[in-house]
């Protein structure tokens, strides 16, 4: 639901692998010595048309040695998604692997026994293109049976290694037609999205400028009625940052006040409530990842409270990553 979906998608995806340990002086080990495993999941086997599908991928190092890999994450160059629909030609989301890395980069380390986890909405990665100004996601997946394959070119560009392609077990799921209630929900959310792009009434009724308030009210009401609603993590991440270009220009010019969801007490409260409720789901895990980029100070408490759940795993991973990034920024001792 962002004003510029490609720009917001890039903002959600780190430009380098999410680090799981500090860089050491250990030389990269060869492919046979590494025991790297790639897994992927979407949480369930059936979705309704237009429901967000949160794809969660995990790269694990099962060996006793530090693993060295190239940039890893959904939306990064070495990760390929292939989505087959019925008897149609596969929908493939892949980019060229022709890029240059320069010394002293030797790959990114994964400590023994640790994992890198990453999640995004599948329809923002693959699907039939449509006017996302009028819809919630970049891509559309029509009702059908789907098979998803995820591959990672783990050693692409890593010096001193041999080629290594990791493949996750295929994922099969079905998308069905919406019920009347689901149709009404999607239509209501699409109307809210269009409000964020509204160019009328900026100086008067301000429908575009007042987009966030009805969205937050909708999330609060819906959480009270249906706390497992799959749209809640998406709306508390992408949704609260979405404004169209006209409204954005008014904010930049100082003619409208900027709404900052990261300092909003009600948004913070709703995020934590949804994470707690949906901590076993890929959607709740996605919201933890989104929260970590803006509130790293909350990760330790989340990791403790969420326990051994997928969302807890994400919180612990993001906590380690945040601590490593902080150490890399600290000035060396004198």
213-229, pLDDT tens digit by residue? 889 999 999 999 999 99
Distances (CA, A) of 113 to 37, 116, 237, 281: 11, 11, 30, 23
Is the pTM of the predicted complex or chain greater than 0.85?
no
Q: What is the pLDDT of residue 8?
A: 40
pLDDT at 319: 94
Residue numbers in the chain where pLDDT is lower than 50:
2-33, 95-98, 202-205, 333
Q: Given this model, what pLDDT does residue 75 score?
A: 86
């Amino acid at each position: 639901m962002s004003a510029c979906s490609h720009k917001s998608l890039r903002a959600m995806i780190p430009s380098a692998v999410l680090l799981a340990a500090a860089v050491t002086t250990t030389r990269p080990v060869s492919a046979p010595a590494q025991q790297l495993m790639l897994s992927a999941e979407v949480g369930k086997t059936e979705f309704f048309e237009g429901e967000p599908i949160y794809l969660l991928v995990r790269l694990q190092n099962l060996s006793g040695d530090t693993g060295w890999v190239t940039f890893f994450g959904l939306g990064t160059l070495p990760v390929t998604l292939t989505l087959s629909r019925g008897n149609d030609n596969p929908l493939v989301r892949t980019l060229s692997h022709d890029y240059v890395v320069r010394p002293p980069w030797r790959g990114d380390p994964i400590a023994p026994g640790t994992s890198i986890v990453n999640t995004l909405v599948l329809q923002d990665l693959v699907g039939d293109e449509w006017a996302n100004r009028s819809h919630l996601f970049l891509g559309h997946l029509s009702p059908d049976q789907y098979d998803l394959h995820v591959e990672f070119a783990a050693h692409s560009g890593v010096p001193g290694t041999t080629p290594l392609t990791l493949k996750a077990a295929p994922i099969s799921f079905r998308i069905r037609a919406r019920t009347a209630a689901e149709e009404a929900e999607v239509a209501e959310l699409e109307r809210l999205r269009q409000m964020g792009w509204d160019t009328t009434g900026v100086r008067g009724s301000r429908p575009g400028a007042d987009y966030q308030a009805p969205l937050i009210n909708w999330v609060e009401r819906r959480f009270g009625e249906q706390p497992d609603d799959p749209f809640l993590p998406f709306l508390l991440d992408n949704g609260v940052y979405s404004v169209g270009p006209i409204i954005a220009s008014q904010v930049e010019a100082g003619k409208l006040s900027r709404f900052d969801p990261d300092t909003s007490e009600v948004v913070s409260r709703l995020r934590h409530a949804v994470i707690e409720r949906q901590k076993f789901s890929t959607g709740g895990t996605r919201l933890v990842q989104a929260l970590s980029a803006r509130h790293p100070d909350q990760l330790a408490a989340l990791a403790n409270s969420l326990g051994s759940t997928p969302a807890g795993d994400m919180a612990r991973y993001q906590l380690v990553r945040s601590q490593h990034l902080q150490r890399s920024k600290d000035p060396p001792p004198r």
